[in-house]
Amino acid sequence: MNKSNKFSPEVRERAVRMVQEHRAEYPSLWAAIESIAPKIGCVPQTLHDWVKRAEIDAGLRAGTTTSDARRIKELEREVKELRRANEILKTASAFFAQAELD
């Protein structure tokens, strides 16, 4: 299932910045998020996910950064492609070895 990006990166950054700037005015992070989310037009959980992602990317929270996750995905794709190529080469090698024996 594809996720639709209803919100532009600029809107996401602005929303996260608003939460960070007004965090001290609320008793908890979640209270700030619940207050700001309707102003952005998203549900609080979505905004909370954006805030967590921003904190991870900034090194304030443990986790895999966006750039690391992107790099891991690229490497996994490359490994899959190389494994497929190796299987093709093994099959071709076995075929030619058998042909040489015949």
pTM above 0.85, yes or no: no
Structural domain including 86 reads 66-101
Residues 55 and 89 in one domain: no
User: Which pLDDT does position 102 carry in this prediction?
Assistant: 72
Q: Is residue 46 located within the same domain as residue 90? A: no
9 & 28 share domain? yes
The 10s digit of each residue's pLDDT in 52-77 is: 999 999 999 999 999 999 999 999 99
Share of the chain above pLDDT 70, in %: 96
Does the pLDDT of residue 1 top 50, yes or no? no
74 in the same domain as 50: no
> Could you tell me if 75 and 46 lie in one domain?
no
Amino acid present at 43: V
Same-domain status, 58 and 97: no
Check if the beta carbon of residue 57 is closer than 8 Å to that of residue 66. Answer: yes
Domain count, the chain: 2
Rounded to whole angstroms, the Cα distance separating 47 from 15 reads 7
